[in-house]
Every structure is written in structure tokens, then in C-alpha cells.
Amino acid sequence: SKNAVVIGAGIAGIASAIRLAVKGYSVDVYEANAYPGGKLSSFEHTRADGNVYRFDAGPSLFTMPHLVVELFRLAGRNPADYFQYVRLDETCRYFWDDGTRLTAWADHDRFAAEVETVLGEPGEHLLAHLNDSALKYGVTEKLFLHRSLHKASTWLNRDALRGYLNLPKLGVFGTMNGANERRFRHPKLVQLFNRYATYNGSDPYQTPATLNIIPHLEYNIGAFFPKDGMISITNSLVSLAEELGVRFHYNTRVTEIVTEGKRVVGVRAEGMGLGAEGIGLSAEPSAVNTPGAEPHAPRPAPIALCVTNMDVVNAFRKLLPNAKQPERILRQPKSSSGLIFYWGIKREFAQLGLHTIFFSNDYRTEFDYLFRRNELYDDPTIYLNITSKHKPDDAPPGCENWFILLNAPNNTGQDWDAIIARARQDVIRKLSHNLGVDVGSLIETESVLDPRTIESRTSSSQGALYGNSSNNRFAAFLRHANFSREFENLYFVGGSVHPGGGIPLCLLSAKIATDFVQGA
Ligand code: FAD
């Protein structure tokens, strides 16, 4: 059958491989790392006594599980045989340095009652906000999320028409913070809902109020936890892909997408067993210079199509240097990055949940540091994720696996070692204040991920977590399409292209891209 090549085994690459295999293609996935999943991977710290802390390396919040489930169904499998997850009653716990504590409940009425009791904010304000979020989502979903923005058919149908009529409600012209300040009296609630801008690496003081659709995912569709950790999303989908005959080639970095006229004919890769002769390419010495290659080897058939899951900036700059470079798109400001401390903590804290936030006392200044000064603020908002709350075997008995994420600026060559050392102290100080213990003395294992290592491990331009930022109202139009305008059998998927970053949108990118592809 026809051969399809996928570059990168990030979540969008794996989903694309599954969809292509279901369409009858023979699929090869080439992955630079020794493991699949890209940002959605997992690792362990082993204590001296042999006990283990397990960490999910990247994503910790799971929304829209139906997009994962759909892949098993598409392949005629029973999803529950591969992948199980639960809906969370409690979305997140919020801590402020002044002692305010608020729990965001999945149940709207319970959350509204909490907001009234703790902050004195009328519960109707919250309910109205969540309704508005649902309404905005309904308008944008069909227009932006499930289809290519880059085909006329998207703009010429009834859903689109409904979208245009509702555009004023989308809040394209005001900022998220502006809308939230009009909605809520209490600045803490404004801060809480401003935080959703960070779900795609944006700045609530710049990003349009349209992004107030994000709470809809968490509060209306729901927040979930995969029973075997976030890594089980990657692992279960890789198992499914392998069952469908997809071949994963690890430690294999693609170095070039080879084109002839308007088509991709193959790729070249360095790494295990491939050499420079490439996939789908002639081994004739005139075509490629391969020491030791068979000079008269028969020319393999060109590949039928190629899907690249590599960050789109690097895909153009490194794999397609001779193609037309869509400069306007490639030069858009990037979303924020992250600084993550993974700590094995030798104690349990009943007051902490699966997701806990410790807010900065000055949110506006924090974002000013992130997006204008390219530095980390010394009173950062801290996100703490503890999977051992739901999956006790992720930490030794009586202990917890802490994943601590700070929003961080993009990698522009800052002195990260100095920044990390300072941030570590700031985090320990703030957590110790809020928890009433010396947190520093409880850390028994530690590792760090920073914008540099995010960039080097997943080829993300400047270590951005979600590709371009959404800080301007045209951002949705300035993400690259899921297909190439120059090469008819080349497709783009993943967090740096349409419709955006985060697991759900990456999964949708794979759907949109492969929907263009005819069955093999
Ligand atoms: P990536 O994960 O970026 O992987 C790309 C893969 O392609 C990598 O494995 C890379 O090695 C490989 N590759 C690249 N170039 C080549 C090449 N030339 N040859 C071979 N292989 C190549 N999302 C959420 O939904 N919820 C969250 O809570 C959340 N939190 C996050 C926290 C952190 C710390 C991070 C880093 C991300 C978070 N995200 C979250 C975002 C989410 O992880 C990403 O949007 C998503 O995983 C990106 O998937 P992707 O398909 O774009 O591929």
C-alpha cells in the first residue's frame, strides 16, 4: 500500500499516524528522541532506597478526552480496553499569600456558593461568566477548531454565517482582563479567570476576550485525569498505532524534506539504520552523496505523503530551507515557555489537591516581566501538580511527587542557570509561607526543565509551549495551515500550527490535516 511518512512522534504525529493507517496507508514515524510523546512524556526519579517518584514531564491538565477516545473508535476498538480516565469533582485549589483559599468545583452551583462565601462575589456573576464562555465556544468551535481556516469552504457555510452574526459577542476587540474586570467585582476572581490566558501561553492583558472560551473546557466539558497518568495518553495511542501496523523509528532525526516540483518525494534522516540515503529516495550517487551506499540500488517509490509534527518554524528553516518561507507567520511572537521543577517531597499535604495554584500578588507585573522584559518575576504564580493524589504509586508511601510550573519567557539566550537558581529560592519562599513549613528541607529528589531544554528536546522554537502566542486578535489567522501551499502532499500538525497548542487542539490538527487526504 502507499507509504506515508510522519516526522515526529508528538501527540499530533501519533494521532496523524493512526488516522492515516485507518485510511489504509503504510505509515512510518521518525522520531528524534528515544521515546514517543514529545512534551507528553514521563520519567522517574529513583531514591537511594529504590523507591520511585514518577512524573509526567509536560501536560498535567486533561480536557476534551473524547478527542482521544475518538481515535480508538475510528480504529474499531473499544477505548476502555486501552485508556481510562475519571472526571474531576474539583478543578483546582487556589491559594493567595494573604491566606485566602478557594476551591473551584466542577459543579457550578457549588463553585458559585464558594465564590460568594470566600470572596463575597455574587454567584450569578460566576454563572453568567461560565454561560458566556459556553456561548463563545459554540460560535468559535465550528469556525476555528474543527476546520481549516485556510479553505474557502470554511467561510461559506451556515455555521460560518452564524459565526459572523455573533462576532460582537466573541469579544474580539477588548482584552480578556478588560472583560473580566467588567464581569467581576473581586480582583481575585478577575485574576483567577485571567489565568486561562496562560493555557495557551498568552498574556491576559493583551489577549482578546475571545479567549474567555477556555474556561468552558474546564468547567462545562470538564477536567479529567487519566487513571494511569498523562503518559497513558501517549502510551495507549502508540499501542493502538502499532496494532494498526504503524512503524515507529526512534533516535531518528529527519534532516530534510526532499521535494521534486510540487511534491514531497522523501525525507532524509540521521540516526539508526537510515544513513543519508533517506526514505523514498534514490540511492544514486548523483542524487545523494552516501558513503558506502549501493550505487545501483533500485529507486524506491516516492512516498505518497508526508506529515510534519515538527515545530513549523524549524520545519521551514531546517527541513525545507529552499521552500518559500511564510515569513509573516514564522516571525509571529511566540507563546510563553515554562520553568518546571520536579521534586520528590518526603511528606504529604492534605491541603493540596491534584492541581493547586499559588497566585502572585501582582499579576500584571508578572506578565510584564514575561512578555516585555523577557525575565521571571520574583513573585511568580506557582502551579503545583501532584499526580500521587490520584495515583498513589507515583510517589513512595507518605511522600508526594511535585511538578511545579512557572510561566517563563521564551528562550532568547538569557542566563538560565542564574534565573533558575533565583526562581528556586522564590518558589521555596512562597510555598513555605503558604504551607507553614520549610519546603526546601523536604525536597529529596530534583530535576528541572527550562526553556532551553524544552527547545532542545522537542525542537520548539524558543521553547514556546504552544507555538505562536494569541496576544493579538489576528493570531488565529497567523498560524500556519495544516497543509502546504507549495507542496501538494505535505501537511503540518501539532501545537505550532492551526488550530493551536495543548493536547486537544493538537489532536484536532491531526484530524483537519488527514481529512484532506484521500484513502490509500
Ligand atoms: P511535541 O510534543 O512538540 O513533539 C514534537 C515531537 O517531534 C518531539 O518528540 C520531537 O522530538 C519530534 N521532532 C521534531 N523535529 C523532528 C525531526 N526533525 N525529526 C524527528 N523528530 C522530530 N497541554 C495541555 O493540553 N494541558 C496541559 O496541562 C499542558 N501543560 C503543559 C506543560 C508543559 C511543561 C509543556 C511543555 C506543555 C504543556 N502543554 C499542555 C502543551 C502540550 O504539551 C503541547 O501542546 C503538545 O503536547 C504538543 O504536541 P505536538 O504534537 O505539537 O508535539
pLDDT digits 0-9 by tens, 480-508? 999 999 999 999 999 999 999 999 999 99
Superfamily for 3-60+230-332+468-515?
FAD/NAD(P)-binding domain (3.50.50.60)
Residue in 309, 356, 447 to alter for ligand 1 test, most ligand atoms within 8 A of Cβ: 309
Which residue's CA is the nearest one to ligand 1's atom 12?
8
CB 38 near ligand 1, within 6 Å: yes
Which residue's CA is the nearest one to ligand 1's atom 18?
254
In this structure, the strands spanning 400-408 and 443-449 are unpaired
Residue 439 burial by CB count (10 A; 0-12/13-18/19+): exposed, middle or buried? Answer: buried
Residues 6 or more apart from 201 whose CB is under 8 A from it?
334, 335, 336, 337, 407, 464, 465, 466, 469, 470, 501
Atom of ligand 1 nearest to the CA of 8: 7
- Is residue 133 within 8 Å of residue 215, measured between CB atoms? yes
Query: Using H for helix, E for strand and C for coil, what is the string for 451-517?
Result: HHHHHHHHCCHHHCCCCECCCCCCHHHHCECCECCCCCCEEECCCCECCCCCHHHHHHHHHHHHHCC
Mean pLDDT of 150-159: 68
Query: Could you tell me how far CA 512 lies from the centroid of its own chain?
Result: 17
CA of 38 from ligand 1 middle (Å) equals 5
Query: Using H for helix, E for strand and C for coil, what is the string for 107-168?
Result: CHHHHHHHHHHHHCCCHHHHHHHHHHHHHHHHHHHHHHHCCCCCCHHHHCCHHHHHHHHCHH
Report the complex ipTM: 0.99
Predicted confidence at residue 284, as pLDDT, reads 46
- Stretch among 70-79, 252-261, 273-282, 409-418 having the lowest mean pLDDT: 273-282
User: What is the CB neighbour count within 10 angstroms for residue 38?
Assistant: 29
CB 217 near ligand 1, within 6 Å: no
What 3-state class would DSSP assign to 105?
strand
CA of 502 from ligand 1 middle (Å) equals 8
CB 31 near ligand 1, within 6 Å: yes
Predicted confidence at residue 295, as pLDDT, reads 45
Which residue's CA is the nearest one to ligand 1's atom 33?
58
Task: Look over the chain and give the mean of its residue pLDDT values, rounded to a whole number.
Answer: 91
Predicted confidence at residue 283, as pLDDT, reads 47
CA of 197 from ligand 1 middle (Å) equals 19
What 3-state class would DSSP assign to 10?
strand
> CA-to-CA distance for 290 and 220, rounded, in angstroms?
56
- Stretch among 130-144, 218-232, 289-303, 421-435 having the lowest mean pLDDT: 289-303
- Stretch among 15-24, 157-166, 321-330, 396-405 having the lowest mean pLDDT: 157-166
pLDDT digits 0-9 by tens, 235-264? 999 999 999 999 999 999 999 999 999 999
CA of 74 from ligand 1 middle (Å) equals 23
CB 65 near ligand 1, within 6 Å: no
Atom of ligand 1 nearest to the CA of 13: 51
Mean pLDDT of 157-174: 70
pLDDT digits 0-9 by tens, 273-315? 555 557 777 544 333 334 444 444 445 679 999 999 999 999 9
pLDDT digits 0-9 by tens, 100-142? 999 999 999 999 999 999 999 999 999 999 999 998 888 887 7
pLDDT at 165 over 70: no
**56: confidence class by pLDDT, cuts 50, 70, 90:** very high
Side-chain-side CA neighbours of 409 within 13 Å: the count stands at 21
Mean pLDDT of 364-390: 97
Predicted confidence at residue 172, as pLDDT, reads 73
CA of 105 from ligand 1 middle (Å) equals 29
pLDDT at 12 over 80: yes
Predicted confidence at residue 111, as pLDDT, reads 98
Instruction: At 284, list the grid cell.
Output: 544514486
In the DSSP assignment, the letter for residue 407 is E
Which residue's CA is the nearest one to ligand 1's atom 5?
10
Mean pLDDT of 189-216: 94
Q: Could you give phi then psi for residue 502, rounded to 5 degrees?
A: 95, 150
Atom of ligand 1 nearest to the CA of 60: 28
> CA-to-CA distance for 295 and 288, rounded, in angstroms?
10
Neighbour-count burial for 190-207, b at 16+ CB within 10 Å, e otherwise:
bbbbbbbbbbbbbbbbbb
CB 145 near ligand 1, within 6 Å: no
pLDDT at 371 over 80: yes
Cα–Cα nearest to 92, from 425, 353, 442, 294: 353
